[in-house]
Chain A
């Protein structure tokens, strides 16, 4: 059974929502619809739908919508989680995650959901929050602890942890594989080559008030313990999207 979860910001996109609903209807893609506007306890609501048989969870919105849903479905038991698939119909700005799944517009999203090509991807966490694409923080003042060593950037720049690479980074000669059980840590301080480490676990501390931004959607307080769970979540991806680059 499909469960379509419409984010509350879609109130500003009524025309697009109508088009999406028409596309879904034309493709005979039916299912229950939840509108997040005004709902405070989305956890209980989504879990209740899963317990009554919802298996394809379709986020209608952007990165923030995926983040909200991801952080609910990652709390269900592993057996149930293995039976779920998460898809996206992107609407508006801030849709880098959808693009990284090979879903570039709301127009092709309905066809992708119908085709239901599923890839099992790694899911990362920072303290109690999950993320699937990546995490960012300013470099200066941040310390990274990995196993027996620490890393201190000595110039301003950006620290990025990638599980899946956003399209905008694809031209920077960097890569990330969301099926290798590793997070790709890049520290870009404006030099020709960014620093690079492949890590399973790390801790991030800061000497200032910076927060870690997860999936370009939510903020996590520091210090934070970061890690990755291999092959954890089924994702509905575009027809030509491949992740394993080896």
Chain B
């Protein structure tokens, strides 16, 4: 039922594509939309949107404006607006987002913090600790 939403064509003007047969290690910072179909070991942060394909495997945190996930992530997702979780998605980590949709069959093991006020919950926790 969410197939249309979980398609990367929703993302125009893709700035970066991490394709199926490459491995990226380290911290990646971008400004535009990013498609991940390959392996990422490290964090990814962008002011744009992120599409995580079915074959993608991520070990690290991802933060973006919007995220569509159909692949696997062992790490946290920090989404300013909408997180769309496809049926093939496997999420092993926490989620922070304003809005979320989860398709039947998706795996999610972690905590979720939702709503616009909690989108920056980790920053607030850090400030309290200070």
Q: In whole angstroms, how far apart are the Cα atoms of A220 and B37 in the complex? A: 31
Q: Is B5 an interface residue (CB 8 A)?
A: no
Q: Is B102 an interface residue (CB 8 A)?
A: no
Q: Is B104 an interface residue (CB 8 A)?
A: no
Q: Is A150 an interface residue (CB 8 A)?
A: yes
Check A148/B26 contact, CB under 8 A, given A193-B35, A195-B38, A198-B16: yes
* Pair B22/A148 contact, Cβ less than 8 Å: no
Distance from A203 Cβ to chain B, minimum over Cβ atoms (Å): 13
Q: In whole angstroms, how far apart are the Cα atoms of A150 and B24 in the complex? A: 6
Q: Is B42 an interface residue (CB 8 A)?
A: yes
Distance from B82 Cβ to chain A, minimum over Cβ atoms (Å): 23
Nearest A-chain residue to B23, judged by Cβ: A152
* Pair B17/A153 contact, Cβ less than 8 Å: no
Residue of B17, B26, B39 near A196 (CB, 8 A) is B17
Q: Which residues A194-222 have CB closer than 8 A to chain B?
A: 194-198
Q: In whole angstroms, how far apart are the Cα atoms of A195 and B42 in the complex? A: 18
- Encoded as 1 (CB less than 8 Å from any B CB) or 0, chain A from 179 to 205 comes to 000000001011101111110000000
* Pair A149/B27 contact, Cβ less than 8 Å: yes
Chain B residues near A154: list those with CB within 8 A: 21-23, 39
Check A152/B37 contact, CB under 8 A, given A189-B19, A193-B19: no
Distance from A56 Cβ to chain B, minimum over Cβ atoms (Å): 38
* Pair B23/A195 contact, Cβ less than 8 Å: no
Q: Is A155 an interface residue (CB 8 A)?
A: yes
- Encoded as 1 (CB less than 8 Å from any A CB) or 0, chain B from 26 to 44 comes to 1111000001011100100
Q: Is A78 an interface residue (CB 8 A)?
A: no
Chain B residues near A155: list those with CB within 8 A: 21
Nearest A-chain residue to B39, judged by Cβ: A154
* Pair B16/A196 contact, Cβ less than 8 Å: yes
Q: Is A157 an interface residue (CB 8 A)?
A: yes
Q: Which 3 A-B pairs have the closest CB atoms?
A: A149-B26, A195-B19, A189-B21
Given contacts A148-B28, A196-B16, 8 further A-B contacts (CB under 8 A): A151-B24, A153-B21, A153-B22, A154-B39, A189-B21, A195-B18, A196-B19, A198-B16
A-B contact pairs, 27 of them (CB 8 A): A148-B28, A149-B24, A149-B25, A150-B24, A150-B25, A151-B23, A151-B24, A152-B22, A153-B22, A154-B21, A154-B22, A154-B39, A157-B21, A187-B19, A189-B20, A189-B22, A191-B19, A191-B20, A191-B37, A193-B17, A193-B37, A194-B17, A194-B19, A195-B17, A195-B22, A196-B16, A197-B16
